[in-house]
Structures are given as structure tokens and as C-alpha cells.
Copies of this chain bind each other. A is one copy, B any other.
């Protein structure tokens, strides 16, 4: 999930000032409403060293009446705290009715450290995550508002901040042995964090990953998220939170910073010339045929998910992919609107029962992601349902991967201008006119809503075990070659 975060997001000083003033006033109001409503709020802040947890917490504190919140610094447990079960220190710090507990570090810290340092084996940390799951479920089902923030910076930014801190005699102590050691273990931590985010982003308590290379942007993002979640939770009363995150389209009047969207950074100018394309395509198709046989011999199932805008070239890409494959070993599964029979089942069932068998390839032309795309945008699924779906989908894919499935997920991305060109070209062509329907034009009108939904989908379902590949699709040859190469690389990965 971390690699999908856009760390270039920033807020200029001049932009920040009015945003901060406005957010502070509204957060102050939200605190008063929450106190009236008896809401118990728990805000968890985790993140890389020097990611700016202190600054974010200060920004919240500045907005609030200090009688109504308490900041808890949860470093390593004290000698005294070690005499109690590990969750005791967190239970102790839970907020009473109408108040807010701000946790600087939390129950996640120790499990990360212990994992990276190899102090606990897998069954031990799996159990710890189970305990955390139970703990968070108990809180949220009892009506607590629980928000978990991961403040994300990159290694480069951390280096700059460590340097600045070290050179300042007042702050130099902040970069000690432990911090430097964690920095040296960056990639081990990154892996552990990725797994933690996937494992503990439940429907009831998902993580919010905050792009924090720009401190102002991080503060605005956190303040906005807290404000929106508290307002919603106070209005809801005692009902357990389905999920706290706000979405852009729901509160158009109160969006100060746009949520990070991985699509913003896609370079649609990428292209490949005809000759190179032809040569590469041939080579890749031959490679894939060979790999398909190996897959079959080793009884490894391969699932390829194609999602993308209308007219983004899914069909053409699939044709190139399957061109040289042995047709006895693959199946293309087109996913349209569910039949009444399918609707009477759990939405995931039709995918579970159409999985390829071991050694075979299943190519899904659209997929289970419909739940968080079309069903979300068109209102076919309730907000509770599609928010829950991120976890359900991550769990589904974890089951596949655990079984040994190789899983590749494509989002074929094109610009709205390119889409328009393709729509018009289709309408002008009597042989391809059937491919364009009023539905396509209607979907196009909702480009922005889909854009947000796709961004959140990629962010929340790009796990270490099932990452998304966004394909730059304005140039069809580029897109096709990239898709085939991605499949090839994934296969070489599982075939070792």
C-alpha cells in the first residue's frame, strides 16, 4: 500500500494558512458536538521516525480545548508496565465519554519492532495481530471512534530530517541509536509495515496512510480526516462505525486537501514505436507460451484481473496476451452485471467458483472490484458494504495467494481526452459502433466519481501479496507490451 502513496503532495505556506484557520474552527466545533454526544475518540499515530507525528498532534491540539483530550506518549513499556498483559496500558488510556485520546505510538509499535528484530516467530506475531483485531473490534462495536494513521515519508526525506535534527543541539537527542538502527533496517520495516497495514485494515478500523513528506499536507490531511469522522460519528450516536474515512463527493463543502490518488502520477505520454512493439510483442508471446507450460507442470494457478476505463483497451490487451497460449489452459471470464441468480448470493461467490484450477490461467475481464467501483459509484452497494469490501477483497486475495496462486491485477488507465477520441472513433466506424453504448457515455459523465473510487481502490487493495499494476494506456502498443511483460515477470517470480 505504501508504494501507492503520492509523496509529492504538498501544500504551500500561503495555501496552508486559511486551511488551518478554517479547520481549527471546525475541529473546535466538532469537539463540542462530540462531547455533547458522549463520543469516545481514539486517534492512533504511527509512522516512520521523524515522519512528523509530533507536528500533526500539535496541530490537532491547537484546535481543541485541552480539557477534552489527552496525549499519550507510548514508547517502550516501562518496567512497571511489563508486569501486566501488553494491552493493559492501552485499556488504561482509553478515553471516557465525550473525550479524545491521542496516542503517539500504540499497540502496533512493539509487534513491528519484535518482528523486524526476529524476537518473535510467525505464530507469535500472528497471535498478536489476532489480539489486536479483537481489541479494536471490541472498541468499535462498543461505539468508540477509532482512527489509525500511518504517517508516511520516504527514506530520502527521513535522511534530510535526521540531518536537520542532528545538527540542532536542541533536537539532536531525537535521533539516537534506536532511530539509526531502524533506518538501517528500512526495507525490513517496510515489509513488516506493509503486512501490518494489510492484516489490520479491517472494515471496522482501516488504516489511513498520510503522505507526510510535506508537513503541511500531512497536518491538513489528518485534521480533515478527524473532523469528518468525528462529525459523522457524533451524528450517528451510539451505532458502531462502519468506517470512518470521508470521501470527496460526500462533503464537497469541506474538502481542503484532496486524498492521495495514485492515478495522479501516471505518465500517459509513455509510448513505444511500431518496430520495437512488434519485436517485443513476439518475444513476450513466445515467453508466455513457454511459461504457461511450466505453470501447468508445476500446478500453479494464475489469475489475471483486468480493470480499466471504458475503451481503455482491455479487450485488445487480452487478445495479445492469449495469442500464443494453449487454449486448453486458459479461460477468459467476462464479468458483466450480475444475474438475478448471482445477486441472490454473496457478491464474492461468483468469483470464487470461477477461479482457474491449479496449473490453469483465469483472465477476468472486470472482476470482484466492481463492488468498490461501479457498485459504489452507482449506489448498488451501500457505503457500509463497499467500505467493508476492501477488507473482504484483501482476505479473498490472501486466500488465493496462500493457496499458491499467482495474481496479477491491471488498471488500464487513459486520459478522458483519449477516451473521448476512442468513443468518437467507434461511433464513426460502422463495424465498431456496437461497442459504444449510452452506458459508456453515462459512465463518462461520472469520470470524477470513478476517478476517486479507483484511487481509493488502488490505495486500499495494493497489498504486498497482491499489488496493482497501473498501465499507461493512451498508447496502445505501450500498454500491451507492459501488460505482457508484467505477467511474464510475475510468472518468473512464482516459478523461481
Contact = CB atoms under 8 A, between A and B. Distances in A.
Contacts of A424: none
Contact of A142 (B88, B301, B346, B358): B346
A389 to B, nearest CB: 10
A344 B96 contact: yes
B38 A344 contact: yes
Interface in A296-340: 299, 301
A144 interface: yes
Interface string A86-113: 1110011010111000000000000000
A349 B91 contact: yes
Nearest to A95: B345
Given A123-B121, A130-B126, A346-B144, A84 B399 contact: no
Interface residues of A, number: 53
Contacts of A405: 85
Contact of A399 (B40, B87, B144, B392): B87
A73 interface: no
A35 to B, nearest CB: 12
Contact of A400 (B38, B85, B134, B341): B85
A138 interface: yes
A440 to B, nearest CB: 30
A58 interface: no
A97 B127 CA distance: 36
Interface string A472-494: 00000000000000000000000
A254 interface: no
B86 A403 contact: yes
Given A84-B358, A299-B83, A357-B83, A348 B402 contact: no
A51 to B, nearest CB: 29
Given A85-B405, A134-B395, A348 B126 contact: no
A141 B349 contact: no
A359 interface: yes
Interface in A345-399: 345-349, 352-353, 355, 357-359, 388, 392, 395, 398-399
Interface of A: 38, 40, 80, 82-88, 91-92, 94, 96-98, 121-123, 126-127, 130-131, 134, 138-139, 141-142, 144, 299, 301, 341, 344-349, 352-353, 355, 357-359, 388, 392, 395, 398-400, 402-403, 405
21 contacts: A40-B344, A80-B357, A83-B357, A84-B358, A84-B403, A85-B405, A87-B352, A88-B352, A88-B353, A88-B355, A91-B348, A94-B345, A94-B346, A127-B402, A131-B398, A134-B392, A134-B395, A138-B392, A139-B346, A141-B388, A142-B347
Given A83-B358, A88-B353, A96-B341, 5 more contacts: A85-B400, A88-B352, A88-B355, A131-B395, A144-B346
